[in-house]
Amino acid sequence: MHKNARVSKKLWKLGMKEYNTQYFDFNKDGDLIAKEGNNVYNIRYLAEKFGTSLEILFPYILEERVEDLIDLASSLIKKLKYQGKFYYHFPMKSNQTKEVVMAMVGEGANIETASYNELSLVRKMLEQESFNQKMRILCNGPKTDKYINLIDELQHRGLKVIPIIEGPNELKNFQYSRYDVGIRLDMPVKTNSSWNKKIDRFGFTKEEILKMPPFKNLKVLHYRMGAKFDKPADVLATTKYALNVYFELKAKNPSLDSIDIGGGMPIPYERDKKYQADKILERIFELLKKESEKRGVPHPNLVCEWGRYIVAPAQVTIYKVIDTKNITHKNIPAKKWYVVDGSFMNDLIDTWSIDQKWAVAPVNNKYDEKITDVWLSGSSCDSDDIYTGVESSVSLPDYNFNENEPFYIVFFDTGAYQDALASSHCLLSSPLKIVVENGHIVVARKRASPDDMGKEFGW
Ligand SMILES: *Cc1c(COP(=O)(O)O)cnc(C)c1O
């Protein structure tokens, strides 16, 4: 029996709301479990049953998160006597899985699309009558002819579809649309982050926007606050800048009534505490209220498109350690290599492309009396397929491959972007994906066979 589950829980920062791990714990045998009300799922058992690499999606986690966000906004609106409305739009690009999108819509989320294909899924949902017709849809991303035609079609069918104008050609198409439109402001307030490009092709500068002749139906001013802001002051600086543009633009376009702060709310991937969502949302509402009252303008509606914040904590990825190797070099932080049966380059590509870090913990935890510093490697043939750089390492229980029992590890917060960005380097299959809710387990994506993988490449 595992000696001290309580110590391990603390060590791996489970059961802590500030890290979104309140759903996870270790049982008395040292196995990782996920809790949903009185249901308990043994993760080691799932790994053994379905095999690894394995993605586990917990829709109830994202349902709770989106419900909390919408409730938070309602209570702030009451508390501050705010007169505008709050609209949460789920950005589909952060996770297009059917179970995710349906769960979001079921909790009252609106939708934001980034492409014609994403909007086509909305049409599919419409045809299956799977959402309330009052749901609102914001359309970002380059407006190809197909995308424009579909926006038009859905508007004619009575849906509230609002394209956000992001470039000159889109301006030509939508400036005099008889339906509501939005426009994207290129935010010059920059921070140090890979999402906050020094040069951004999307949107218009403040000067460009204010020079435009009046629109027929301008409703929304959109900008992005940029992911990975470290300080609330940075977030508020962008809001303040956008708000000034909003007031000037509204003078010319009285129909303008909403400010859209986009996505970008961070989550504690690295188990560090950044600012909290409730604090920042309160300060944004306060700022909107104060500034509009100063000018005698009605409080704008607030639109929020936080993606990773809602969906990342709702999925974990499990790997089995399939080899271990001692590192004998001196002056190196790591003592051992752990090779896993999946690929960071394929399954968790942000590891590789933007140096994303994740919280890693053991799934079967009977070895954690002794912790060691390891480097993790994926099982593609590529020497770049590693989790940790030379300078850093991950602390995990000391394990040798020749022990009798298999050893599994878990990556937390993998629910945003990784599936859509996944690749098939070395023709490896993506992890099998299961959806776990209400005591039921459903396979949402099978593991591709060699034939399936070959087909993708004309075999
Ligand atoms: C990507 C994107 C989002 C979501 O960003 P997160 O960082 O996941 O919150 C929201 N809105 C738009 C327009 C986007 O392009």
Please check whether residues 446 and 347 belong to one and the same domain: yes
pLDDT tens column, 373-404? 999 999 999 888 988 766 788 999 999 887 77
Q: What pLDDT was estimated at residue 355?
A: 86
- Largest Cα–Cα distance of the chain, in whole Å? 73
Q: What is the CATH number of the domain that holds 263?
A: 3.20.20.10
Tell me, in angstroms, the distance from the centre of ligand 1 to residue 261's CA.
10
Peptide bond into 53 cis (omega under 30): yes
Q: How confident is the model at residue 100 (pLDDT cuts 50, 70, 90)?
A: very high
Same domain, 138 and 208: yes
pLDDT digits (tens, 9 = 90+) for 288-299: 999 999 999 999
Say yes or no: 26 and 47 in one domain.
yes
Q: Is 68 domain-assigned? A: no
Domain count along the chain? 2
Measured from CB, residues less than 6 Å from any atom of ligand 1 are 91, 93-94, 112, 114, 140, 227, 262-265, 305-309, 416
- Residue numbers of the domain that contains 381: 5-59+314-455
For residue 194, pLDDT over 60 is answered with no
Domain assignment of residue 72, yes or no: no
Say if residues 308 and 417 touch (Cβ distance below 8 Å): yes
Residue type, 75: S
| Residues 100 and 236 occupy one common structural domain | yes
User: Quick check: is 69 in a domain?
Assistant: no
Same domain, 371 and 355: yes
From ligand 1's centre to the CA of 263, what distance in Å? 4
CATH of residue 448: 2.40.37.10
Give the Å distances, CA to CA, from 83 to 78, 112, 240, 302, 457: 9, 24, 19, 10, 55
Q: Rounded to an integer, what distance in angstroms lies between the CA atom of residue 409 and that of residue 358? A: 12
Q: Identify the pLDDT of residue 93.
A: 97
Does the residue 299 lie in any domain? yes
The CA angle 227-194-202, to the nearest 5 degrees, is: 80
Report which ligand 1 atom has the smallest distance to the Cα of 140.
13
Give, using CA atoms, the residue closest to atom 3 of ligand 1: 263
pTM of the model: 0.94
Domain membership flag for residue 65: no
Domain boundary among 306, 324, 352: 306
Same domain, 302 and 318: no
- 219 occurs within a structural domain: yes
Quote the ligand 1 centre to 262 CA distance (angstroms).
6
| Distance (Å, whole) CA 212 – CA 228 | 32
What residue owns the CA closest to ligand 1's atom 5? 263
Nearest residue CA, atom 14 of ligand 1?
A: 263
CA of 91 to the centre of ligand 1 (A): 6
Residues 248 and 328 grouped into a single domain: no
Shared-domain flag, residues 299 and 322? no
* pLDDT tens-digit readout, 198-223: 666 788 999 999 999 999 999 999 99
Residue 371 CA to ligand 1 centre (angstroms): 37
